[in-house]
Chains A and B, each alone.
Chain A
Amino acid sequence: MSPRLAARLGSGLFWAAVALILAYMTIPALVVLMTSLSPSELLEFPPSGLSLKWYARAVSYPDFQAAFANGLIVTAFASTCALAVGSAFAYLIDRYVFPGRAALEAVLSSPLIVPHFTTGFGFLLLGAGLGIGRSYLLVILAHVMLVLPFVIRSVYVSLRNLDPHLERAAANLGASPWRVLSRVTLPLLLPGMAGGWLVAAILSLTEFTASLYVTAERTQTLPVAMYTYIREYTDPTIAAIAALLILGTTALIFVANRYLGLRRILSIDAH
């Protein structure tokens, strides 16, 4: 076999492997998408025809509408609170020396594993103990905790990537500390903060495990409503709403990547 042929074969194998992995990663979403287009009354795969009627039902189903609205409220408050708290926290870790700082930094730069089951259960007990029940407040508190590490990480990475000479240059040119913050630091952190907020929003919108514990019927978010639905009905409405959720989050991630640079949010590069 000539080296050239071997190289071609090698690259062919490589692309085949890439295609296989991609297919494997996207199969669940594809199956859901295809099922959602089925005209049948039952969940079936592969679908026997093509119809959009389940989409119509999904968006007009009152429980989903209410749950989606709940989800938006929770997400808006949770990601915004997480952004405020997380940014301040990230700033603290980056700028000040205090005992335990190294440990905190290590925790923040390792993969984030949060057992949502424990979080949800803990907040449920806490809510009962504090007498706030399964209110919006409790749901938001739980979500803030779940998304906070991602926001901190995102802002922290932006801070690390900020050239410290820029703030000195601004001060040297006559900017008071407050104006250094508002004219230089904050504008340069903005992409990182927006990215952190968006990641938090996506996580919060799609969070299920913890939400199952901390939501009541009145406060349930979309994933919880979907779970309730699938326990009672077996028609493709559930596939349609799931497909909408997938498309929505994909669009958000696309925006985040395009305009904010997820690469920048998820890695520290040298300046």
Chain B
Amino acid sequence: MGQGAAAGTPPFAAETAVELVGVGKSFGPVTAVRELSLAIRRGEVLTLLGPSGCGKTTLLNMIAGFEEPSAGRILIDGRDVTEVPPYLRDTGMVFQSYALFPHMDVFENVAFGLRMRKLPKAKIAAEVMRALEMVKLGGLERRRVRQLSGGQQQRVALARAIVLRPKVLLLDEPLSALDKNLRAQMQVELKELHERTRLTTLFVTHDQGEALSLSDRIVVMSRGEIQQIAAPIELYRHPANSFVASFIGEINRLPPARCRLSGGEIVFSLAGIELTAARRDDLALGDGQQVHLFVRPEHLAVAAEAAGGRNRIACRVVTHVYQGTHTLTRVEAGALGVLQLRVPGGAVIERAPPGSEIGVEINLDEAVALPD
């Protein structure tokens, strides 16, 4: 798409809040973000998920206006803001380090943006109080920010951004500085906050659990490129490529397999054994095609007998990791390598101690087959 055409007649729909058109960024020889296009829908929580250094912060900084794209256009509410300075963009950023103003108290921090907009005093006070209530910080407005806990600082940073009702809320790993329990609690609160405000939100994280639980849609990124954009369930069930398959949740990657179509079934021959799956729409494979099978740990089960039977293989138990509701069991599966099983409860630990021989049944009903 030509840039001139993009700027003249933006492919903009009313339900799109932010649109990136061919946006890329290089720092000298380093390409932080490859040219990509992306639309954030009004009111949704869109998550950028990817490993460290894949360009998430860079993308966020370009939307906020802190970094100038090397290529492409950025549209907010249909307006091309590529050349607009940060303070006129109306985005609300929450920084990983919170970046609260240390020379102001909680109230003044939250009031800062309202003061910049020159609102009347009474209105500012009312709005600040409402925002502080929303993040459950009522009564702390005169505290100095240095006297707040990490979680409280986080809430001030959120309140400071949402009080302005920005066109898009930009959250750069807002929970990563919190300890595990607080993180889980803040996840829930973020979700509730979004229910109440319905602000368009771009959420950055490298924690896939956080992404799965908070997002309407997830953008998986790797090395500056978009790998897949999909709803959490879709992403988990139908990863588009092996990067997404391995990055979202736990998954077993089986050795290369050759397909053979036989009636209503597909037979995969791999490493000297055969696995069979029923034909499905999303398993559109050709005869003789070379693929990798990906199977989630929860689709592997301990079989009653050690060997024989469909999709059943003999394995030796390596370790058990007990997790309360379930046990993660690692087994040595001969030519298939090491597999991970998710077994409900903990009984398996006594039934099949490390070193013992067991049969493992591979359920391919939800397996993913991806070309090499």
Contact = CB atoms under 8 A, between A and B. Distances in A.
A binds B: yes
Given A169-B99, A184-B101, A174 B93 contact: no
B202 interface: no
Interface residues of B, number: 26
B102 A174 contact: no
Contacts of B90: 174
Contact of A165 (B88, B97, B112): B97
A267 B8 CA distance: 53
Contact of B113 (A173, A176, A188): A173
A171 B99 contact: no
A174 B116 contact: yes
Contact of B93 (A168, A175, A183, A184): A168
Main secondary structure of the interface of A (DSSP, over half): helix
B164 A174 contact: yes
Interface in A148-189: 163, 165-166, 168-177, 179-180, 183-184, 187-188
Contacts, number: 61
B87 A171 contact: yes
Interface residues of A, number: 19
B53 interface: no
Contact of B86 (A172, A184, A187): A172
Contact of A169 (B65, B88, B101): B101
A175 B116 contact: yes
B117 interface: yes
A168 B103 contact: no
Contact of B97 (A163, A171, A175, A184): A163
Nearest to A190: B103
A-B pairs, 8 with minimum CB distance? A173-B113, A165-B99, A174-B116, A169-B99, A171-B86, A172-B93, A171-B87, A165-B95
Interface of A: 163, 165-166, 168-177, 179-180, 183-184, 187-188
11 contacts: A169-B93, A169-B101, A171-B65, A171-B86, A172-B92, A173-B87, A173-B113, A175-B116, A176-B87, A177-B87, A187-B103
